[in-house]
Structure 1
């Protein structure tokens, strides 16, 4: 079962997280505040952003990516998938149940 790492502007993060849970693309989305330093268009940038950790399933991962790309304000959003080999089974069951019945 994957956890998806997404960064977003602070102003857009809460709405994006809520959309993913509401549409049953994620069972839960954790939001962490961070400062990101990166290169864009040849310049070093520094922005306040949010890190979203979306708990989802492999079955809906592609739909989650599609929705993030539709809703995200960046041209190139950060979307990275981490697959867990070892997860607490009751949590895995809850996650699967939470994204089922879309």
Structure 2
């Protein structure tokens, strides 16, 4: 995946339980793949799956990382995600508070 030259990216995913969301958040922060994860929910998701319209509760995870760590983060999400086809969206951050962005980069550095 090629990402633009930006200071940070937001990676979004959703899971079916609060426990799964918290486990995912703990894993990616512990692995230094994310500086921070906001977990919110439950929200109601409505989607088409295998030809049927589905509806159910989900918890969203908004994950903050750097472009350099995004590919490894995506692989880790896939490894721990409970869904067969997880939503994983990467959105570039075009700016932000310089001190926060420095903290984000430091928090996701592979070797502190």
Q: TM-score range by the shorter chain?
A: over 0.9
Structure 1 residue 101 displacement after superposition:
3.5
The alignment's C-alpha RMSD in Å is: 0.9
> Which residue pairs with 1:26 in the alignment?
34
Structure 1 residue 8 displacement after superposition:
1.1
What pairs with 1:10-49 in structure 2 (closer than 5 Å)? 10=17, 11-33=19-41, 34-49=43-58
Listed as ranges, the gaps of 5+ residues in structure 1 are none
| 2:13 alignment partner, one of 6, 11, 27 | 6
Structure 1 residue 73 displacement after superposition:
1.1
Structure 1 residue 50 displacement after superposition:
0.7
1:86 aligns with 2:92: no
> Which residue pairs with 2:4 in the alignment?
none
> Which residue pairs with 1:95 in the alignment?
104
Structure 1 residue 24 displacement after superposition:
0.4
1:47-81 CA-partner distances (Å, limit 9, x unpaired): 11111000000111100000000110111100000
Query: Runs (4+) of structure 1 moved beyond 2 Å?
Result: none
Listed as ranges, the gaps of 5+ residues in structure 2 are 1-7
Whole-Å separation in 2 of the counterparts to 1:81 and 1:89 = 21
TM-score w.r.t. length of structure 2: 0.87
Whole-Å separation in 2 of the counterparts to 1:41 and 1:101 = 39
> Which residue pairs with 2:5 in the alignment?
none
Between Structure 1 and Structure 2, how many residues are aligned? 102
Structure 1 residue 43 displacement after superposition:
0.9
